[in-house]
């Protein structure tokens, strides 16, 4: 076993040529950006291909290759399942599948794993039957879990070399221009698909809404798309975008949110030109609401809000509290409509958002990010990958990216979920290294990372209930008891890559009854 700088053991057999995590900026990029083959399409050539099967045949997909997907259709996505069913029917095997996220709807992948169609998975988030099958050891190779920025980094650095990218295209024209803002499957931003389109050897647009040339706006350009396939339906609209996302009404959630907003203000980050990102959860939105109150009182305008975007942020944009909204993914219909209609609401690609190895991602300029946690340890390491019984049920997404970039990375959470304590000596899996986490806000107090002693003093002066994370842990574990470690075997089922590609942790196969 090899120990990385946050004390996680990585089996030597897995390390190979991979670097161990040594700190958020320990790795310096070397080498060249990945280069796909040049291609050419002549006047008169058509990109419309009548079926997925013919498009896959045209792509030259063969055993052992890598296919990619993006997750903007979320749990309403039919495209991954449609494509994989056709691939399986063509007898192609041993594929690596690299979607930006996996949702419960992607359950049919489990069967493709069992039948040998799929041999590897690489993703940024996995929830549902596929994640559970991986946790049970059904995938023959360890799944690679990345961050949103890390996935783009891996693509641009050639570590995730995509043979064929399938782009779910809510709107496409016959020459392969794509956007996400029109049609029955409109999902808004297509920010996670951009790197796939730029770097895959072959790119297939799958659409249920062929529009006249030239489509505008252009999220994915014709210059990178080889084939356009029209299908009946990309997905289930109600599961692609939700209705309004709402602020929590839970009193504990509101208490935590109010404290979090005070922490942000105490850090001096509610000021003209500020920037912030919150998640789409009810407590995160409540933090935004409290921050908004400060902004209104002081007539402050933020330079930008970053997201996964919700109607709440859209309203702040409309009300003049945000100068702009940068968006990799829309969570609700208001966000889709705003992205379509308001030029201040800007689609950005995921590399622009979070890739640590380009000439500067948005996360570097975040003042504040508000994040959740499944577990936190006393080194401030955060787990959002696995449940406390060791089953994969999430992933970093932008968690580790924004924590590394933001001046203030704030975790908001209750101290326990059902009977389990959130604060522990050791998290089941590290998703986000503690050295990039500044403050944990729970209903029992505010724990400041000792690396931020300056901040602790300022928050104390403001009268916030600053406690040590050890005391926070003790207080909750006095109620819940000490949690047992997850019952796992010694077989690794997933690697957790930090955003720079170094090995942050591994996930072990769970013991089955």
Instruction: With contacts defined by CB under 8 A, name the span among 106-114, 140-148, 232-240, 359-367 that binds a copy of itself.
Output: 359-367
Give the C-alpha separation, 240 to 507, whole Å. 29
Residue 2 or 301: the one with the smaller Cβ distance to a copy of itself is 301
Give the C-alpha separation, 441 to 259, whole Å. 7
Pairing type for strands 445-448 and 466-467 reads: parallel
Binding residues for a copy of itself, total number by CB under 8 A = 63
Instruction: With contacts defined by CB under 8 A, name the span among 399-407, 420-428, 455-463, 465-473 that binds a copy of itself.
Output: 399-407
Those residues with Cβ within 8 angstroms of residue 477's Cβ, 6 or more apart along the chain or in another chain: 421, 423, 424, 483
- From the CB of 213, what's the least distance to a copy of itself, in Å? 6
Q: Is 39 in the site for a copy of itself (CB under 8 A)?
A: yes
Q: Is 499 in the site for a copy of itself (CB under 8 A)?
A: no
Give the C-alpha separation, 246 to 280, whole Å. 8
- From the CB of 113, what's the least distance to a copy of itself, in Å? 32
Q: Is 326 in the site for a copy of itself (CB under 8 A)?
A: yes
Residue 156 or 265: the one with the smaller Cβ distance to a copy of itself is 156
Q: Is 364 in the site for a copy of itself (CB under 8 A)?
A: yes
With residue 195 as reference, give the H or E element that holds it: helix 194-199
Question: CB 19: neighbour CB atoms within 10 A?
Answer: 15
Q: By CB under 8 A, name the one of 344, 482, 491, 511 that touches a copy of itself.
A: 344
Instruction: With contacts defined by CB under 8 A, name the span among 51-59, 280-288, 289-297, 403-411 that binds a copy of itself.
Output: 403-411
Q: Is 60 in the site for a copy of itself (CB under 8 A)?
A: no
Instruction: With contacts defined by CB under 8 A, name the span among 75-83, 215-223, 262-270, 420-428 that binds a copy of itself.
Output: 215-223
- From the CB of 42, what's the least distance to a copy of itself, in Å? 6
DSSP per residue over 214-280, as a string? SPSS-SB-GGG--EEEE-S-SB-HHHHSBS-------HHHHHHHHHHHHHHHHTT--STT-EEEE-S
Question: CB 144: neighbour CB atoms within 10 A?
Answer: 22
- From the CB of 215, what's the least distance to a copy of itself, in Å? 9
Give the C-alpha separation, 428 to 28, whole Å. 28
Residue 78 or 199: the one with the smaller Cβ distance to a copy of itself is 199
Please check whether residue 23 is in contact with residue 5, taking contact to mean a CB–CB distance below 8 angstroms: yes
CA 289 to centroid of chain Cα atoms: 23
Residue 81 or 303: the one with the smaller Cβ distance to a copy of itself is 303
Q: How far is CA 289 from CA 8, 90, 295, 369, in A?
A: 37, 52, 10, 14
Q: Is 157 in the site for a copy of itself (CB under 8 A)?
A: yes
Q: By CB under 8 A, name the one of 217, 237, 282, 372 that touches a copy of itself.
A: 217
Instruction: With contacts defined by CB under 8 A, name the span among 90-98, 241-249, 339-347, 487-495 that binds a copy of itself.
Output: 339-347
Q: Is 222 in the site for a copy of itself (CB under 8 A)?
A: yes
- From the CB of 290, what's the least distance to a copy of itself, in Å? 24
Q: Is 50 in the site for a copy of itself (CB under 8 A)?
A: no
Residue 210 C-beta-side C-alpha neighbours within 13 Å: 15
CA 168 to centroid of chain Cα atoms: 18
Handedness of CA 145, 401, 341, 291 (dihedral sign): positive
Q: Is 36 in the site for a copy of itself (CB under 8 A)?
A: yes
Asked if the bond preceding 129 is cis, omega within 30° of 0, the reply is no
Burial of 20 (0-12, 13-18, 19+ CB in 10 A): middle
Q: Is 299 in the site for a copy of itself (CB under 8 A)?
A: no
Q: Is 232 in the site for a copy of itself (CB under 8 A)?
A: no
Residue 17 or 40: the one with the smaller Cβ distance to a copy of itself is 40
Q: Is 28 in the site for a copy of itself (CB under 8 A)?
A: yes
Residues near a copy of itself (CB under 8 A): 25, 28-45, 47, 156-157, 175-176, 203, 212-214, 216-218, 221-226, 273, 303-304, 323-324, 326, 343-344, 346, 351-352, 355-365, 404-407
């Amino acid at each position: 076993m090899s120990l990385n700088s946050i004390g996680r053991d990585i089996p030597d057999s897995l390390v190979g040529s991979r670097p161990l995590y040594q700190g958020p900026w320990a790795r310096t990029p070397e080498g060249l950006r990945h280069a796909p083959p040049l291609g050419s399409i002549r006047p008169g050539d058509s990109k419309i291909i009548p079926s997925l099967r013919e498009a896959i045949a045209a792509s030259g997909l063969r055993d052992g290759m890598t296919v990619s997907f993006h997750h903007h259709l979320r749990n309403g996505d039919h495209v991954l399942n449609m494509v994989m069913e056709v691939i399986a029917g063509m007898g192609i095997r041993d594929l690596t599948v690299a979607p930006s996220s996996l949702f419960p709807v992607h359950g049919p992948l489990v069967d493709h794993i069992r039948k040998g169609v799929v041999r590897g998975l690489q993703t940024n988030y996995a929830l549902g039957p596929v994640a559970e099958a991986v946790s049970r050891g059904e995938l023959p190779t360890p799944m690679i879990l990345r961050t949103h920025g890390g996935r783009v980094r891996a693509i641009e650095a050639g570590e995730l070399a995509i043979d064929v990218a399938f782009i779910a295209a809510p709107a496409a024209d016959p020459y392969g221009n794509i956007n996400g803002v029109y049609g029955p499957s409109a999902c808004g931003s297509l920010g996670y698909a951009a790197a796939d389109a730029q770097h895959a050897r072959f790119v297939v647009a799958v659409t249920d809404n062929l529009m006249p040339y030239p489509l505008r706006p252009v999220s994915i350009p014709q210059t990178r798309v080889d084939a356009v396939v029209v299908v009946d339906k990309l997905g289930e609209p109600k599961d692609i975008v939700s209705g309004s996302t709402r602020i929590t009404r839970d009193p504990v959630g509101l208490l935590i949110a109010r404290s979090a907003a005070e922490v942000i203000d105490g850090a001096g980050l509610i000021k003209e030109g500020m920037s912030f990102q919150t998640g789409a959860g009810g407590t995160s939105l409540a933090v935004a609401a409290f921050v908004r109150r400060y902004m209104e009182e002081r007539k402050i305008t933020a330079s930008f809000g970053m997201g996964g975007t919700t109607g709440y942020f859209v309203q702040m944009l409309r009300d003049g509290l945000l100068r702009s909204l940068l968006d990799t993914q829309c969570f609700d219909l208001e966000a889709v409509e705003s992205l379509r209609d308001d030029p201040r609401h800007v689609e950005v690609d995921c590399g622009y958002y979070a890739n640590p190895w380009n000439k500067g991602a948005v996360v570097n300029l975040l003042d504040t990010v508000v994040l959740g946690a499944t577990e936190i340890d006393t080194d401030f390491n955060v787990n959002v990958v696995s449940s406390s019984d060791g089953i994969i049920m999430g992933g970093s997404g932008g968690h580790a990216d924004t924590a590394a970039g933001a001046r203030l990375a704030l975790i908001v959470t209750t101290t326990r979920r059902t009977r389990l304590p959130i604060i522990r000596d050791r998290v089941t899996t590290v998703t986000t290294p503690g050295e990039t986490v500044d403050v944990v806000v729970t209903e029992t107090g505010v724990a400041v990372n000792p690396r931020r002693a300056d901040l602790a003093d300022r928050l104390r002066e403001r009268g916030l209930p600053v406690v040590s994370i050890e005391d926070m842990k003790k207080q909750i574990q006095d109620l819940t008891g000490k949690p047992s470690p997850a019952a796992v075997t010694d077989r690794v089922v997933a690697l957790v890559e930090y955003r720079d590609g170094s090995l942050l942790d591994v996930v072990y196969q769970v013991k089955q009854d």
